[in-house]
Structure 1
């Protein structure tokens, strides 16, 4: 859109620095390119330790089922994630027979939500925005969050090794250990000394226990899978898709 619209509606505020703004054109196709047959927007939302993928879909009404195959392939790819997925949007599929409680726009219900009731609740249909013929949907994502539990460990990477060496080098072992002490007593005395030095020279590091670190080989496999996915998005080649699927299966099995 190349001009400002004083009637643009602020739909809501996410935070102090972000606003959601809706601005519709008078004619159809609210601002997107006329040459596009579809639009897909994929967003991964993470709350605490749980993620949910939201996919927004728009399909041109005149697009044939044969030409729509590319959309279904993309949706198949985007739904291969391991976390719950919600699909919302305008699919423009007139042959779908949905049980309706009330008719909407001559009996055609083009805006709907595909989801599982376990992850979406409090669904509400809202009025139209401006000149748009689309209804808005308001719903709640049912994402369980775990309390943030933290523990503290010694961060030996940031230890003051110069101070440790200085303390140890200035200890006279002949005076420190009593000849009348047993081996076990000397050992306990040495351990106590080392614990005191470590406590003074090694800082603590907070570890969030809800973050479960992955082994190195899984991290490497995850990166390969991510790189393969980006390559497939860029070139769209069957070979790139095949490689991504292969790495995805390996990652899931791990």
Structure 2
């Protein structure tokens, strides 16, 4: 999946809700607006590896990130250019490049990005996707006249033999195709869906299947995970008594250093099992209700379908299409407000109850920390 989210942190809950229904293996996000000072734990999804390339400085803008299922073996490839993120799917020998090209890029930055794409994609199986902000290219045709900037990138894509899969607008407000998906192989894409924008976003989310010859490796059994213990709830006085009652001279007699350490670790593990409870399994969902009423979701989906139908028949500049998009935008905003207000109300309740139930408050704070 790819989407330009225009600020990940405030829309994180909505992304988690959407992911819970569709279960993507890889989620590529542009315009994350994350800063290096923002902890990854704030936007972490259990069971996924998070890769980030944030903008430098103190202004929240630009940036890209990826969520990748832990069962997928990857090699992260550090890139020198801003707003780029790449990795290799190790078992499939396929490279993924996520791109955000800001409209404010200087000519020199655009030239460096173009040269980088040319170098990166040469001689590999690649998936290149992101928000390129190249509205002047007529993708169904890929020829005819276009501005010099678009022509430079189009020549590169064509020279590499990349196949571009998006043929309908991904930025409904202007009717332009700004978000693109390229592959070096012409027969890899299965189904592709241009979804409605997330609440508070202007770009459509794009969901697609990428089919490998070695697909069984994607369905391998997940590796063993170490149980997580609730250390803050440990019975440490009982643990101290248990450790004090052990005759260490007898336990470690006639053992060398390696054997002694292994025996010590076995005893300590038994004590932890006895005195430190396990954390309950995490569902990866926030403790407040984030799902708007079903009726509102259905109305929003119907409004989006009506807009697409009218846009196809009458064009995006028609009065009917603009009216339909305004109706959809209003319902979209209601969905966004529901999730944000639900979180705000939950946090206000935590604060109001912090004197009577401080553990609940501090537990919530701990989950926001690394």
TM-score range, shorter chain: 0.3 to 0.5
Q: Under a length normalisation based on structure 1, what TM-score does the superposition of the two structures give?
A: 0.43
Q: Decide which structure has greater helix share.
A: 2
Task: Please report the TM-score for the alignment, with normalisation by the length of structure 2.
Answer: 0.31
* Higher relative contact order structure (alpha carbons within 8 Å, sequence separation ≥ 6): 2
Select the structure of larger CA radius of gyration.
1
- Is the strand fraction higher in 1 or 2? 1
